[in-house]
Amino acid sequence: MNGSIRSARRFSTVSNDSARIAIHISELRARLDKEILRKCSPSDCYRILREEWWLATFILCYNSDVDVALAVVTQCLKWRHNFQVEYIGLLSIKPLLDRKMIYIHGYDVERNPILWLRMREHSNGDRDTEKAFIFWIERHYMESRGAPLSILIDMTSTTLVNLDYDLFKFILHALKYYYPNCAQDLLIFESPTMLNASWKIIRTWIDVGHPQLTLVTRDSIDQFIHHQFVPAHMGGEDQWEFTMDEIARCIPSRALNEEIIYENGVDRDDKLNAFPNKRSVKFESEDEDATRRTPLMIGTPTVRKPSKGPSGRRSMLPSSLRPLADRRVHAPSTDWAIDNFLSVCPREELTLSRLDDSSNDLVDIVAVRNTSDRAVLFKIKTTSPEKFRVRPSGGRVAPGATEIVRVYLQNEYRATGSREKFLLMALQHDSTNIEEFGELWNHSPQEWRAEHKLRCKIVDDDSSSNGSTPKERVGRTLGTGGGGGEVESLRQDLSTLSSNQKILGIVVAFLLLLQFMCILNERSNNASLRLAIETLANANRNSHDDL
């Protein structure tokens, strides 16, 4: 009888928890921004509208706080749209897979799959590793519906050249906000002693309650992974090798057909005002298509109408950027870099900042003005294309017209954005085909060409965080990655200390050499003096004998 009562109570508790989570999921769905959902992939829309597990994962991870969960889900959807998670091409990561750098194989002691990452195959600054990591995490997380896995980072034979702080920051950020509760353990295998200080820095980025870094060796790895799944080079028994057949098998399934969202008689008007039937590449509600080939004009010196895009409609700036574009176009002459046929504003520095709370990316405007009586072709290059979206990245500016170029910095790269630079290349030419820019540039005389360099400056908005809503606070936390400024300062101090230590070592070696030379010189002088004394003594002795 008592057992029946306890079972009934347990069933009642589970039912109440399930009902409470279902209520939170319904509230979360109702509060999600429809504009953000329209930019989602069809499969993401399907998971939000028809499945419970994905939203439940965020709710449970943040203790049923719907405000915080809403902020995190919103940022996650924006990131998935910008990073193009479901459309990562296999060709872009195939070189890493060929080198067997990252793959999923085997199980840990709790029967969780293991993601293996061999750091000696990574080069500092290689952003393809981020794509490969997301490729595997996305495939596992969505197919298993949020089941955990263990991540083992093999540091065998690695040096400081292989250790990439940005990569670790990206991995920890993704596991915390975009794939919650995905990582069971974060194991670091056979880390060299020289990297001990680096792990102390990385640990400061991990919050309490999230999987912590655990350093393991050949002797202690069996506490986490059975020897049958440990590779032979790590002291285990597993002879399995990642092959091309495995690469072919791991091609992810494409996005679900969008029509399944509305199957079984579901009314489109009842589901967030009917998602668009085609997934057009647009960055803001009023932004033009990414395939636009005509310039985006504003505030030209002569009376000109904005050109129309291929569809016949006028290309327009997003309303949030129009004041900034207007300030750029009408900036004083001191803010413009002036060449023979081209003027560029700003003169030296892009000031990237958030304009409003509707977008988490940082943005600035570049105005390119053609001051000549001949058409100008231009192209913009950057040191890290994966961090930025430049719209347009190239084009044609008519005589007397001004082109407005928008530069977006993806928020997950905010901490390192200030290191990047841009190069604007302009060419006076009558051609209308921007695809031939490289060939035209190489075969044009110097007086037809112009170059202008811009560095980046990041403007933080953390000073306004006091009194903000939970959603705003979490949005800012997602942008900064937690403690990034202090860690960056610590890294700079360590770098300065290392440089000073090298200089001090050189000085000490020079002083030792100088002291050794002084000793040799002193010994030589002593020998000469002793010889002179002996000669003088012999001379005196001979004189005495003669007397």
Beta bridge partners of 152: 116, 187
Over residues 416-431, the mean pLDDT reads: 90
Which residues are within 8 A (CB) of 238 and not within 5 positions of it... i.e. 6 or more apart?
Answer: 106, 227, 228, 229, 230, 231, 232
Which residues are within 8 A (CB) of 544 and not within 5 positions of it... i.e. 6 or more apart?
Answer: none
Q: Is residue 98 predicted with pLDDT exceeding 60?
A: yes
Please check whether residue 328 is in contact with residue 345, taking contact to mean a CB–CB distance below 8 angstroms: yes
In terms of pLDDT, which residue wins out, 216 or 282? 216
pLDDT band at residue 414 using 50, 70 and 90 as cut-offs: confident
Q: What is the DSSP string of 13-76?
A: HHHHHHHHHHHHHHHHHHHS-HHHHHTS-HHHHHHHHH-SHHHHHHHHHTTT-HHHHHHHHHHH
Over residues 443-452, the mean pLDDT reads: 91
What is d(CA 71, CA 470) in angstroms, rounded to the nearest whole number? 8
Q: Is residue 511 predicted with pLDDT exceeding 50?
A: yes
- Beta pairing class for 349-352 and 376-382: unpaired
Which residues are within 8 A (CB) of 117 and not within 5 positions of it... i.e. 6 or more apart?
Answer: 101, 102, 133, 151, 152, 153, 154
Tokens 């009842």 sit on residue: 270
Confidence (pLDDT) at 16:
60
pLDDT band at residue 439 using 50, 70 and 90 as cut-offs: confident
In terms of pLDDT, which residue wins out, 417 or 245? 417
What is d(CA 56, CA 28) in angstroms, rounded to the nearest whole number? 10
- Both tokens assigned to 38: 């329209």
pLDDT band at residue 170 using 50, 70 and 90 as cut-offs: very high
The 3-state secondary structure of 273-292, one letter per residue: CCCCCCCCCCCCCCCCCCCC
φ and ψ at residue 259, rounded to 5 degrees:
-65, -20
Per-residue pLDDT of 212-249, as tens digits, reads: 889 999 989 988 998 899 998 888 888 888 875 665 55
Q: Considering just the CA atoms, what is the radius of gyration of the chain in Å?
A: 32
Beta bridge partners of 351: 457
Task: Say how many residues make up the chain.
Answer: 547
Confidence (pLDDT) at 86:
86
pLDDT band at residue 416 using 50, 70 and 90 as cut-offs: confident
Per-residue pLDDT of 470-480, as tens digits, reads: 444 444 444 44
Task: Indicate the helix (H) or strand (E) that contains 536.
Answer: helix 484-546
Beta bridge partners of 313: none
Q: Give the Cα-Cα-Cα angle 446, 449, 454 (nearest 5 degrees).
A: 130
Share of the chain above pLDDT 70, in %: 76
What is d(CA 426, CA 377) in angstroms, rounded to the nearest whole number? 6
Q: Exposed, middle or buried, 9 (CB in 10 Å: 0-12/13-18/19+)? A: exposed
Confidence (pLDDT) at 258:
35
Confidence (pLDDT) at 132:
92
What is d(CA 112, CA 524) in angstroms, rounded to the nearest whole number? 75
What is d(CA 438, CA 172) in angstroms, rounded to the nearest whole number? 39
Which of 162-171, 450-459, 486-495 is predicted with the least confidence, judged by mean pLDDT? 486-495
* Cα torsion through 276, 280, 283, 289, rounded to 10: -130
Q: 217: helix, coil or strand?
A: coil
Please check whether residue 377 is in contact with residue 394, taking contact to mean a CB–CB distance below 8 angstroms: yes
Over residues 196-209, the mean pLDDT reads: 85
The CATH number for 319-482, chosen from 3.30.2350.10, 3.30.1330.20, 3.90.209.20, 2.60.40.10, is 2.60.40.10
In terms of pLDDT, which residue wins out, 356 or 365? 365
Q: Is residue 137 predicted with pLDDT exceeding 90?
A: yes
Task: Indicate the helix (H) or strand (E) that contains 445.
Answer: none
What is d(CA 201, CA 199) in angstroms, rounded to the nearest whole number? 5
Which of 10-14, 77-81, 140-144, 397-401 is predicted with the least confidence, judged by mean pLDDT? 10-14
Over residues 254-274, the mean pLDDT reads: 37
Over residues 265-284, the mean pLDDT reads: 36
- Both tokens assigned to 233: 């080079």
Confidence (pLDDT) at 274:
34
Q: What residue spans of 62-116 are helical by DSSP H? A: 66-83, 90-98
Per-residue pLDDT of 179-194, as tens digits, reads: 998 998 899 999 998 8
Q: Across all residues in the chain, what is the average pLDDT?
A: 78
In terms of pLDDT, which residue wins out, 15 or 398? 398
The 3-state secondary structure of 293-355, one letter per residue: CCCCECCCCCCCCCCECCCCCECCCCHHHHHHHHHHHCCCHHHCEECCCEEEECCCEEEEECC
pLDDT band at residue 450 using 50, 70 and 90 as cut-offs: very high
Q: Taking the mean position of all CA atoms in its chain, how far away is CA 391?
A: 19
- Both tokens assigned to 74: 């919103």
Considering only the top CATH level, what class is 89-249?
A: alpha beta
* Cα torsion through 164, 179, 112, 227, rounded to 10: 0
Confidence (pLDDT) at 247:
58
Per-residue pLDDT of 288-333, as tens digits, reads: 333 343 444 443 333 333 344 433 333 467 777 888 888 889 899 8
In terms of pLDDT, which residue wins out, 257 or 140? 140
Q: Is residue 409 predicted with pLDDT exceeding 60?
A: yes
